Structure 1
Amino acid sequence: MFMSYSILIRVVLPLLIGYWIARRTRHLIMSLVLRLMPLKVRLSQKAFAMQTRITMIVGVGIIAATLLAFNYAYVRVVPMTAEAPGKAAQELAPLPAPAQTPPTPKQPVIEPAPEAPAAAPELREPEKAAVAVPKPQPYFNPQPPPVPIETPVYLQLSAFRNYESAWAMQHRVAPHYRRPVWVGHHTYDAVPYKVLIGPFRSRRAAIEFKKAQRLKAFPRTLDEIRLYQS
């Protein structure tokens, strides 16, 4: 049972938290990488692939750093909690029982006069501190990891092979909807330029908007898609 909790705290929990942190900071890292790129590289076709690759490497580094930090904290905390019960058991160990007195003989025996009992030596301050019973420590209840926020969903209206056709459709349909209409670029798609509308908080909200507007579109996320600003 202790081994399963140890694996949960040292492996599963830091991996989940590291993935959540990397997912939350993905767009921030991508924007920083884009700003650090030279202008010539930023305008090339390989810019987005390079940006995605660097973001994935940084995300893996965040997950690994979280895993190492949790294991370091676990190694420092667990020995301290394991030594406390052992010390308390040693300090509270019962004293040995006094030896039984021998039986008195039947015949009278002349005994010497009893000596005055010697006074017990007083305990010094360190010995008093060792005999003192330790105070009970409060129980530590770890908080559960935060729930990751759901990824925004977009409705893809159409896809084009060239940049001009995508922007022409965006300018044509944008005035008819209250939600923003975007042009996105997918590096690894044969038809790379997408016309998207959104974002929506969930896939269900996107489908309800599609039915209300009678659109021939399908919901999707922004995986490997970079949005352009007009």
Structure 2
Amino acid sequence: MRPRRTPSRNQLHEANVTLLSRAMIEIRLLANRPEHATHPDGHLAQIAAIADVCHHLPGAGRTSGGGLVWTWQTADEFQRAWLRSRLAETNVDIAFLEAAPAWPPPGTAPDLRPSWNRWRWPRDPGAFVSVDSDTLARLVRQGEPDGPHALLDHLHPGARHIIRARRPGETLFRPDGPGDVRQYRAVVTMRDGALIVASPRLRAGDIAALPANLGLFRRLVLAAVPKRRRERDLYVWGRDHHL
């Protein structure tokens, strides 16, 4: 069977615009006319479900479908039904979403060192920095003052976290900006000891001002780690912990 063709960027943009506009209309309707809710837990639960599933959509169409696939595969049953019905109004065939490799809950911890059969030539080792939990929380709050920041309370208090710049081709959940705010990739240790991947939006100036606190060998090891598809991320960790 031939693989499903990913929609064009224009089609993905149309899908995003449709989903976001419908979300705003429906949230406003539900806030004023709660009797229109179809969620089993009522109109507030439906508003939360729609807002949650649309949270990353503004940047989802900039990654050749990757962001929309991520949104689809992390949605619950109600959210997926909502996405399916609203995407039916667009030129996007959701077959490529249904045929995409399954997101693997709960996922596995990201690698911090390569293996003999899984490694890559070290790429930009100077991009890696290490920060403690207080510093990471401060950087996230400076990058996005309006939050949400609930998961920052669940960082391991004694852990060191690894941050690097997002690489070309990695999923961009939201456009860069304002100013020098950029999406980064972080390997984060949570309070329960789970090692997960996060995509915080941070100020490039703040990251540039951090001291070079990782030795060359450690940075080369990190830079030689190839990215895997089965990494557990911050969203799934929070969902699994009902946050």
Q: TM class, shorter-chain normalised?
A: under 0.3
Q: TM-score, normalised by structure 1?
A: 0.27
Q: TM-score, normalised by structure 2?
A: 0.26
Higher relative contact order (CA 8 A, sep 6+): 2
More helix by share: 1
Largest Rg, 1 or 2: 1
